[in-house]
């Protein structure tokens, strides 16, 4: 098992799952999201990015696998990204070992790096809440509730808190405040988008970027996104158990007939010769195939 413990959090890998536990002083988004178990099938790649202070360990997920990343649409800063770990200078060797272990597993299991058609991670735990600026959003799996504070416009506060069921939501979008531009958490009703700016839209929170806590609105967006009709259908589709999935895979070559494994060895040799695999990666993968034989 590979493990790296840092102030930013702890990452472990047992060959099947990358388990991510946020540190005590991690960004609020990571704190609220809590522990994440990332199955190997959801991983597209992993890398260590060194710098003068140590570096960053970065887990790259397959497109569409994580509802939080889908809701963020590439707008999460590294500090808020649950799949980035700040590594101290004296732990860079451990980080590089972690990368090797995950890469070898991806190679041996031949996990593709292509996008997926369903979420492979469960997303935020319900109920979930977040936001800032002129109010707070909460979602219990069935309804969204927007509670306004004293800074909200009268067009929002006049009717009190807004509550609407998931069935009335056609889409959700999160945009963080950037520079002097406000952000928003906006729910588009099924009858059509509201033309008013987020500041006056009763279906939106206006985000001002005054604190890191505002970024937790992305967790509400993720929880709603994965339960919208299109995503819900994919999530509700029956999934085979690990045992059935394994049984459906091509059977291992029987004794005396190792053609499939020999082909795999030739493929590994070609990848090594082409420079795609390092000597160590090639050796590890080759040993795994030989053990199967």
Q: What is the pLDDT of residues 184-238, one digit of tens each?
A: 999 999 988 888 899 999 999 999 987 888 889 999 999 999 999 865 434 444 4
Query: Percent of the chain beyond pLDDT 70?
Result: 80
Quickly state the pLDDT bin for 248 (edges 50, 70, 90): very low
Return the residue matching tokens 């998931």.
Answer: 166
* Per-residue pLDDT at 212: 80
The answer, yes or no, to whether residue 148 has pLDDT greater than 50, is yes
The answer, yes or no, to whether residue 43 has pLDDT greater than 60, is yes
Q: In terms of C-beta density within 10 A (0-12 exposed, 13-18 middle, 19 or more buried), how is residue 199 classed?
A: middle
Greater confidence, 151 or 260? 151
Q: Which two tokens stand for residue 84?
A: 């980035």
DSSP 3-state of 229: helix
* Per-residue pLDDT at 121: 96
Q: Which two tokens stand for residue 242?
A: 């690990």
The answer, yes or no, to whether residue 13 has pLDDT greater than 70, is yes
- Residues 6 or more apart whose CB falls under 8 angstroms from that of 126 comprise 139, 140, 141, 223
């Amino acid at each position: 098992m590979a493990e790296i413990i840092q102030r930013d959090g702890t990452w472990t890998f047992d060959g099947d799952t990358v388990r991510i536990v946020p540190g005590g002083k991690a960004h609020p988004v990571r704190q609220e999201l809590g522990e994440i178990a990332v199955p190997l099938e959801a991983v597209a790649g992993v890398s260590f990015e060194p710098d003068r202070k140590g570096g960053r360990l970065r887990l790259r997920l397959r497109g569409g696998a994580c509802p939080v990343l889908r809701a963020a649409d590439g707008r999460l800063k590294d500090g808020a990204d649950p799949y980035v770990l700040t590594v101290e200078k004296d732990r860079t060797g451990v980080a590089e070992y972690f990368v090797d272990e995950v890469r070898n597993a991806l190679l041996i299991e031949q996990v593709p790096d292509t996008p997926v058609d369903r979420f492979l991670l469960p997303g935020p735990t319900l109920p979930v809440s977040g936001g800032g600026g002129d109010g707070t959003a909460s979602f219990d799996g069935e309804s969204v509730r927007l509670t306004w504070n004293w800074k909200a416009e009268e067009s929002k506060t006049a009717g009190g808190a807004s509550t609407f069921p998931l069935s009335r939501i056609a889409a959700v979008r999160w945009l963080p405040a950037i520079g002097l531009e406000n952000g928003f958490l906006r729910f588009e009703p099924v009858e059509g988008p509201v033309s008013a700016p987020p500041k006056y839209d009763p279906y939106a929170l206006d985000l001002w970027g005054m604190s890191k806590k505002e970024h937790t609105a992305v967790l509400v967006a993720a929880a709603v996104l994965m339960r919208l009709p299109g995503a819900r259908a994919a999530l509700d589709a029956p999934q085979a158990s690990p045992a059935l999935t394994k049984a459906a895979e091509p059977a291992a070559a029987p004794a005396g007939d190792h053609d499939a494994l020999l082909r795999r060895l030739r493929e590994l040799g070609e990848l090594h010769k082409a420079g795609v695999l390092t000597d160590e990666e090639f050796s590890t993968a080759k040993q795994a195939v030989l053990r199967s034989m």
